[in-house]
């Protein structure tokens, strides 16, 4: 393999009108660092460190386009009040030579009633096991309002200094709920065939494009499979990808899984049920996770590049850049992605484990992350914010030492 091919991941690349210093993007991994929906200094420092560590772009996640699109009270929602604070974050990232993207979405039927103050909305009256509730079925007025909210949020992101936005149309969020036959049971022009189910999500992407102009980068995170029987699969996803490209997407991030049904499918690895329960403040949630967590949160075996096969089908179907995500944790993985024709990779847990890992890889100091995919970082986000957890005290340490498995 030539040095040119081997080092492509560390060469500049473009998404829309944005040139990035290399091909590594910090994936949108919910941080849990926005008390009362506001940006914190910890969130700023988290993303500043990612930029200082060499990633070309860091993705702030998850930012709801409206207050009623949140799953947790500590999720950010876009509004004028927080634009100046977000500008502090983007300035800090830019000072380190990186770019900043923000992930915009809406939880739809699995929004938290306690966080939003009323019944969630969704494409159909589908029971949500995650919330033990039914949503209110969206009408045309609701769709128009949400569409406008996505556009307004994107415009505010530009005011806040973000270099790109990532529209979340995967993982069972609202746009994904319209795309999936699992949650979309409508009998009108927005349900039934894939073409009908695509109408609302595609109109959101088009509205964001019309709002931000022709060159501003819009990434779209989408599912290649929901991981549920009789739901969205890769053959449908190929058509979804083509439509998103036609509506103005600058790049696609093909992922998988349904937060309200198959929440760890998009991550793979261990399920730290005990620690998830330990980090809850509601005693009923603690009890529920301890008693039923194994039934509610399935375990999926971790493999490197676990989304490569499906993502390859998306890459072959479109002309815009496709970002490979899912088990990218070594320079070999990144080289494979580049050789397969992917223009960028998104990395989550490896950067959470070591924000400086991109610099270290570029200098040749390390070849792979030592993250063991225990997913305790996911459990940590509910209490102190996402981070690589080192257990140091009491019975939790002893329990985890018994459960811990060798690194993959």
Answer yes or no: are the C-beta atoms of 344 and 21 closer than 8 Å: no
Which single residue is written with the structure tokens 């993207």? 101
pTM: 0.90
Q: What are the structural domains of the chain?
A: 3-268+303-371 (3.20.20.70)
Provide CB contacts within 8 A for 395, sequence distance 6+.
none
Residue 408 has, within 13 A of its CA and on its CB side, a CA count of 19
Catalytic residues: 173
- Which of 27-36, 64-73, 96-105 tops mean pLDDT? 96-105
Host H or E run for residue 105 = strand 99-105
Q: What is the pLDDT of residues 144-173, one digit of tens each?
A: 999 999 999 999 999 999 999 999 999 999
pLDDT at 396 over 50: no
Q: What is the pLDDT of residues 278-335, one digit of tens each?
A: 555 555 554 555 444 555 668 889 999 999 999 999 999 999 999 999 999 999 999 9
Provide CB contacts within 8 A for 175, sequence distance 6+.
105, 106, 167, 168, 169, 200, 201, 204
Could you count the other beta carbons within 10 Å of the beta carbon of residue 295?
7
């Amino acid at each position: 393999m030539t040095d040119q091919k081997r080092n492509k991941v560390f060469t500049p690349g473009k998404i829309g009108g944005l040139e990035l210093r290399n091909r590594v993007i910090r994936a949108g991994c919910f941080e849990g660092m926005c008390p009362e929906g506001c940006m914190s200094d910890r969130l700023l420092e988290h993303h500043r460190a990612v930029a200082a560590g060499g990633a070309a772009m860091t993705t702030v996640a998850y930012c709801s386009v409206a207050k009623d699109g949140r799953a947790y009270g500590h999720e950010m929602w876009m509004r004028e009040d927080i634009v100046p604070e977000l500008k502090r974050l983007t300035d800090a990232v830019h000072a380190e030579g990186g770019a900043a993207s923000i992930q915009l979405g809406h939880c739809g039927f699995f929004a938290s009633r306690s966080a939003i103050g009323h019944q969630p909305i969704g494409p159909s009256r589908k029971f949500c096991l995650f919330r033990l509730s039914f949503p209110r079925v969206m009408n045309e007025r609701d769709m128009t309002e949400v569409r406008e909210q996505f556009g307004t949020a994107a415009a505010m992101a530009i005011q806040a200094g973000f270099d790109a936005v990532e529209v979340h149309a995967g993982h069972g969020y609202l746009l994904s709920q319209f795309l999936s036959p699992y949650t979309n049971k409508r009998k009108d022009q927005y349900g039934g065939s894939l073409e009908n189910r695509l109408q609302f999500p595609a109109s959101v992407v088009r509205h964001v494009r019309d709002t931000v102009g022709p060159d501003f980068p819009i990434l779209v995170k989408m599912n290649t499979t929901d991981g549920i029987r009789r739901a969205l699969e890769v053959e449908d996803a190929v058509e979804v990808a083509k439509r998103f490209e036609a509506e103005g997407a600058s790049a696609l991030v093909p992922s998988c899984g349904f937060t309200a049904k198959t929440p760890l499918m998009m991550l793979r690895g261990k399920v730290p049920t005990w620690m998830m329960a330990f980090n809850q403040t509601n005693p009923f949630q603690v009890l529920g996770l301890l008693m039923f967590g194994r039934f509610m949160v399935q375990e999926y075996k971790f493999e490197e590049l676990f989304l490569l096969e499906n993502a390859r089908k998306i890459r072959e179907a479109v002309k815009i850049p496709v970002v490979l995500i899912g088990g990218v944790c070594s320079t070999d993985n990144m080289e494979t992605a580049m050789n397969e024709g992917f223009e960028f990779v998104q990395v989550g847990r490896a950067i959470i484990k070591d924000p400086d890992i991109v610099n270290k890889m570029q200098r040749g100091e390390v070849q792979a992350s030592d993250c063991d995919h225990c997913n305790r970082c996911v459990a940590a986000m509910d209490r102190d914010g996402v981070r690589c957890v080192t257990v140091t005290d009491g019975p939790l340490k002893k329990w985890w030492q018994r459960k811990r498995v060798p690194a993959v």
